């Protein structure tokens, strides 16, 4: 069996404004004393002997996309706890730190500069969604800081950043996947309803293009203001257009309110919905199920998602790592949804890859260990496949050449440090558990591109 995850976002022009870095709860903060991002004095540079090494979760913890940062912290805390349980990295324990971008480039850029200037022994940055990636990746790259970003922006497939990596596909491929699902389900008249945040807007034009390529008809295209409390005007326009299906991504409480109003205005009957992979999360499910009913959501909702492993040698340590965080951080909804939520699998894999690369490079300095990421991810001739940090560290101690394969599956990094997988179709059952109902082939995506 397979399941998934992913969250990506769009581009923006940065206006640099002074702001204050907000960190997540104090339990995830590190000391802000000391200079530089990686410290000094370790082997080949990197953190001083015995120092704690920081992984920063640079993502929205407030604003419309506030659910993303905590989701990534679940993965970060679980992965780093597993690394520490296996002995840490080169004698260092890892810790996670939340840095709030507010989902806005104007806040994200100064937050990133302050993070780099004040965080002792910073060795890795995760998160950086499309709300802020176009703005912060150049800053991180200039600082020689490795980042694994949850962004699907197209420019990262044409501009090379030496220290940028991603395990998710371009947003346009996810748009194609949504249209492919509509085709599979026999829908012909398509309505779009996406949030006005940067990331959600990036799906629209590729979806419009794919609708035309598929010979379908777009009957409505409404933008949902994430700061609004009602969407009756937009819902009324969509209901009046009589679509077969609504394609959507609007986070926070927006989709719950909007879809409830669609159902009310449509005589109490829900119009079917196809969501992005961001809709596979405890927060989104909890909001929408409360608004339209769990049984309605189960019968009228599908989402695309990246295929990931849900059994086998890599899934068991992943499951244990994520579930170890239940009750400590994240949503009060169905916690098991984090096993398929956007970012959880791929950032877990990113942290394991980075920790193994640090070990092989004998340094926590990103400029030293970065070249080992693709080598360990993609593997070299004769490499032994390992499925966890503990297994990888044991193999390295035996002098083995390793290839790491986590729950996100094997990697294949291109020249822009992007590694992507294939898509599946997800639904929820009546209790909110995620179910896989089909797959989307590469040929289907190519036909819509």
Q: Residue for token digits 């490079």? A: 361
* Other Cβ atoms closer than 10 A to 298: 17
Residue 97 has pLDDT above 90, yes or no: yes
The confidence score (pLDDT) of residue 19 equals 38
Residues 422-445 pLDDT 10s? 789 999 999 899 999 998 987 898
* Other Cβ atoms closer than 10 A to 353: 27
The confidence score (pLDDT) of residue 106 equals 96
Residues 101-152 pLDDT 10s? 999 999 999 999 999 999 999 999 999 998 999 999 999 999 999 999 999 8
Residues 237-291 pLDDT 10s? 999 999 999 999 998 899 999 999 999 999 999 999 999 988 988 889 999 999 9
Residues 114-127 pLDDT 10s? 999 999 999 999 99
| Sign of the Cα pseudo-torsion (104, 106, 109, 112, in order) | negative
- Mean pLDDT within 186-191: 98
Residue 2 has pLDDT above 80, yes or no: no
The confidence score (pLDDT) of residue 274 equals 98
Inter-residue contact 158 to 418 (CB < 8 Å): no
Look at 28 and 209; give whichever has higher pLDDT: 209
Q: Residue for token digits 């070299």? A: 380
Angle between helices 105-118 and 133-142 (to 10 degrees): 20
Residue 155 has pLDDT above 90, yes or no: no
Per-residue pLDDT band at 58 (split at 50, 70, 90): very high
| pTM across the whole model | 0.77
237-242-244 Cα angle (round to 5): 125
Query: Parallel, antiparallel, or unpaired: how do β-strands 384-386 and 308-309 relate?
Result: unpaired
Q: Residue for token digits 């730190």? A: 97
* 223/200 Cα distance (integer angstroms): 10
Inter-residue contact 146 to 366 (CB < 8 Å): yes
109-118, 150-159, 330-339: which range is least confident on average? Answer: 330-339
**What's the chain's Rg over C-alpha atoms?**
21
Residues 360-370 pLDDT 10s? 999 999 999 99
Both tokens of 133, joined, read 């990636």
């Amino acid at each position: 069996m397979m399941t998934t995850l992913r969250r990506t976002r769009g581009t923006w022009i940065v206006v640099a404004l002074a702001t204050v870095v907000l960190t997540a709860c104090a339990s995830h903060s590190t000391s802000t004393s000391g200079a530089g991002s990686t410290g000094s004095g370790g082997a080949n540079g990197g953190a001083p002997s015995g120092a704690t090494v920081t992984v920063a979760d640079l993502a929205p913890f407030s604003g419309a996309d506030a659910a993303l940062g905590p989701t990534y912290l679940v993965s970060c805390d679980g992965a780093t706890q597993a690394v520490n349980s296996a002995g840490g990295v080169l004698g260092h324990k890892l810790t996670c730190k939340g840095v709030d971008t507010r989902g806005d480039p104007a806040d994200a850029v100064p937050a990133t500069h302050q993070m780099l200037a004040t965080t002792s022994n910073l060795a890795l940055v995760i998160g950086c969604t499309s709300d802020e990636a176009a703005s912060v990746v150049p800053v991180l790259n200039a600082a020689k800081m490795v980042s694994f970003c949850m962004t699907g922006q197209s420019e990262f497939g044409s501009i090379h950043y030496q220290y940028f990596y991603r395990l998710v596909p371009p947003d346009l491929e996810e748009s194609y996947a949504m249209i492919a699902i509509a085709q599979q389900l026999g829908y012909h008249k398509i309505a779009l309803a996406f949030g006005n945040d940067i990331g959600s807007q990036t799906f629209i034009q590729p979806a419009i293009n794919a609708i035309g390529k598929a010979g379908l008809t777009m009957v409505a295209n409404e933008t949902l203001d994430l700061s609004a409390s009602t969407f009756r005007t937009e819902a009324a326009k969509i209901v009046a257009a009589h679509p077969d299906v609504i394609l959507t991504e609007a986070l926070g409480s927006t989709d719950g309110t909007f879809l409830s109003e669609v159902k009310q205005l449509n005589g109490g009957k829900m119009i079917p919905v196809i969501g992005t992979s961001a809709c596979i999360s405890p927060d989104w499910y909890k909001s929408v199920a409360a608004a339209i009913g769990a049984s309605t959501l189960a019968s009228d909702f599908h989402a695309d998602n990246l295929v990931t492993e849900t059994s086998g040698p890599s899934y068991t340590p992943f499951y244990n790592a994520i579930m170890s965080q239940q009750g400590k951080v994240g949503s009060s909804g169905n916690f098991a949804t984090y096993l398929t939520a956007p970012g959880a699998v791929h950032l877990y894999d990113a942290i394991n890859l980075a920790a193994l690369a640090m070990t092989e490079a004998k340094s926590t300095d990103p400029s030293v260990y970065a070249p080992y990421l693709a080598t360990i991810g993609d593997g070299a001739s004769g490499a032994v496949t390992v499925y966890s940090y503990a297994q990888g560290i044991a193999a390295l101690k035996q002098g083995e050449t390793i290839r790491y394969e986590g729950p996100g599956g094997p990697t294949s990094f291109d020249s822009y440090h992007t590694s992507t997988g294939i898509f599946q179709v997800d639904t929820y059952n009546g209790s909110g558990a995620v179910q896989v109902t089909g797959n989307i082939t590469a040929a289907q995506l190519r036909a819509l591109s």
